[in-house]
Structure 1
């Protein structure tokens, strides 16, 4: 990194090629902030912005349905970092999938497996890799899991997504308890960011109402302008991440006090 500012912050983001993940990555770019972005595809816009600002960025095109590959890359990337000027290290588990909405009795096994691997298994595996690789670091370490209100309030036709987000909330509680017992433990939060105008919302609005009884709810959210933009939501999520009391409430929402 010759000629660049000393790295003060490291951030790993999954699902960073579009939507909320891309918006967060764009906001985090900077010469003193190293980013590792993991998605099924890379973002040309993100790469161009990083080059413009001389911001250290690595994008990996990986399928998180096999998180072991991503975990290996995360460990190697973290182990290659110089810690001299480092202040923070953060993992943001943002990637997820709604799969194919519909009653569980009609679900295909492959789709259910993929939904849970991407939405729950990957955050678990990547969090383990991050915590292990940084276990001796004396910097502020954070894990931010992007959850959903559907992990706390179930709806018909979204069984796998609800299960993944509920599991994310609860494993966050367990890991937070483990880290709290350590002298330099990481802080972890599972955060519901509100309803955002992303591809997932589009999928829900286009799903047959016979498969998703609450489809009209998602249609109203769009029609009434009640969906947050990815950039606006990213600003709110990152503001939450930077709060001095981050981690005091393990399961939280942007609407919480």
Structure 2
């Protein structure tokens, strides 16, 4: 068993891009599922002599992505992998407004990306690697909003709460079988990403907590994507990863 393989969603920008860059620097082969290719990632992998396959996929249509992943895993040489990891990082916010003000199609798309896609990809990953001797890990990037309600964030809060709870269920299932995958739904802290920009730009009349996010930026309380990625990957590398199925990187 000679190499490490990591599958990561949302790797073309923000913390996902930073994680992908740091994983390449650590010698991992990557499969990236994102809305678009990132040329720098490919060049970085080439310089390091690593594989970085990038799929331009729309995770609002997650069944196709999950089916493709399962077929792809079946074609890999699982016996040569020391570790294989799935990082469900991609996420979207619908328009920040009360639930009744958001069109049904926008809500449905957000829930597919934020909850349905991670569940389907997790299922495909578990089937596709079930006979591999490699150590298997699943890292779901959650949020504190999955654990604390906030007005005008119903879709995102519900999706992350669902991510936390399906992680608990999968942890119980995997603990009962041979070479079970270790899984954790991890809140990464408050990060200076496009989502924060979206929250700061929301209408105060529709988002009562907008001022909170403005103050976080003003006080310099936001973690950079690179720093957040380093903390998350350090948590993923812990010997006890998965012993707590729902966790916070700040704990």
TM-score (norm 1): 0.95
The answer to whether the aligner puts 1:8 opposite 2:9 as a matched pair is: no
Match of 2:89 in 1: 94
* Equivalent residues, number: 251
The Cα of 1:115 is off from its aligned counterpart by 0.7
Match of 2:165 in 1: 170
The Cα of 1:52 is off from its aligned counterpart by 1.8
Q: Any residues of structure 2 matched to 1:138-149 within 5 Å, and which? A: 138-149=133-144
Structure 1 gaps, min length 5? 1-5
The Cα of 1:85 is off from its aligned counterpart by 3.2
Match of 2:45 in 1: 50
String of CA shifts for 1:116-135, please: whole Å, max 9, x gaps: 00000000000000000111
Q: Which 10-residue stretch deviates more, 81-90 or 16-25?
A: 81-90
1:7 to 1:110, Cα distance in 2 relative to 1, 3 A? farther
Decide which of 124, 137, 140 is 2:119's aligned counterpart.
124
The Cα of 1:84 is off from its aligned counterpart by 3.6
The Cα of 1:80 is off from its aligned counterpart by 2.1
String of CA shifts for 1:152-186, please: whole Å, max 9, x gaps: 00100100000000000000001111001112110
Q: Which 10-residue stretch deviates more, 133-142 or 168-177?
A: 133-142
The answer to whether the aligner puts 1:196 opposite 2:191 as a matched pair is: yes
Query: Is 1:95–1:118's contact at 8 Å kept on the other side of the alignment?
Result: yes
Decide which of 209, 230, 242 is 1:247's aligned counterpart.
242
Decide which of 34, 37, 41 is 1:39's aligned counterpart.
34
The Cα of 1:254 is off from its aligned counterpart by 0.7
**Partner SS, residue 188 of structure 1:** strand
Q: Which runs of 4+ in 1 moved over 4 A?
A: none
Match of 1:114 in 2: 109
Query: Is 2:94–2:106's contact at 8 Å kept on the other side of the alignment?
Result: yes
The answer to whether the aligner puts 1:59 opposite 2:54 as a matched pair is: yes
Q: Any residues of structure 2 matched to 1:229-240 within 5 Å, and which? A: 229-240=224-235
Decide which of 134, 142, 155 is 1:160's aligned counterpart.
155
What's the Cα RMSD here? 1.3
Structure 2 gaps, min length 5? none
**Partner SS, residue 29 of structure 1:** helix
String of CA shifts for 1:91-122, please: whole Å, max 9, x gaps: 00000111111001111101100110000000
Query: Is 1:7–1:33's contact at 8 Å kept on the other side of the alignment?
Result: no
Distance 1:196 1:39 in 2: 19
Match of 1:207 in 2: 202
Distance 1:155 1:25 in 2: 30
Distance 1:250 1:111 in 2: 30
TM-score (norm 2): 0.97
